[in-house]
């Protein structure tokens, strides 16, 4: 097997093995209504004490949630507790929901 064929095979297997998840905005909205709206507001625009998350890019939201989940960000115990309750799929859903809202 030549190097090009081997490289293509390895790349194809990596794509097949990589977990994929299509985010569900409606599911994200439902989660947000139960977990996020009390602090960030129904519209995700926050207030004087809680930041706006409406219109936040998916990757930025996901990175922030991951930091709370893995303990990298310890600034807000309430946020860390809420983030740790969510699976990766749920974080993706909520991220998609907030990204869909206007800033």
Phi-psi region of 79 (alpha: psi -120 to 50; beta: other; left: phi over 0): alpha
Confidence of residue 91 (pLDDT cuts 50, 70, 90): very high
Q: Say which CATH superfamily domain 22-100 falls into.
A: Cytochrome c-like domain (1.10.760.10)
Domain boundaries, the chain: 22-100
Q: What is the pLDDT of residues 5-26, one digit of tens each?
A: 555 554 544 444 445 678 999 9
State the pLDDT at residue 79.
Answer: 96
What was the pLDDT predicted at 18?
Answer: 44
Residues 70-84: what's their mean pLDDT?
96
Higher pLDDT, 11 or 89: 89
Average pLDDT over residues 67-76: 96
Residue keyed to tokens 């081997």: 6
């Amino acid at each position: 097997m030549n190097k090009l064929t081997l490289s293509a095979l390895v790349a194809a297997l990596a794509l097949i093995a990589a977990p994929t998840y299509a985010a569900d905005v409606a599911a994200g909205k439902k989660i947000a209504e139960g977990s996020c709206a009390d602090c960030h507001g129904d519209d995700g625009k926050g207030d004087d004490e809680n930041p706006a998350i409406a219109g936040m890019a998916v990757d930025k939201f996901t990175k922030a949630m991951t930091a709370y989940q893995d303990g990298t960000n310890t600034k807000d115990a309430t946020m860390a507790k809420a983030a740790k309750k969510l699976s990766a799929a749920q974080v993706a859903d909520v991220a998609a929901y907030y990204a869909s809202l206007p800033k």
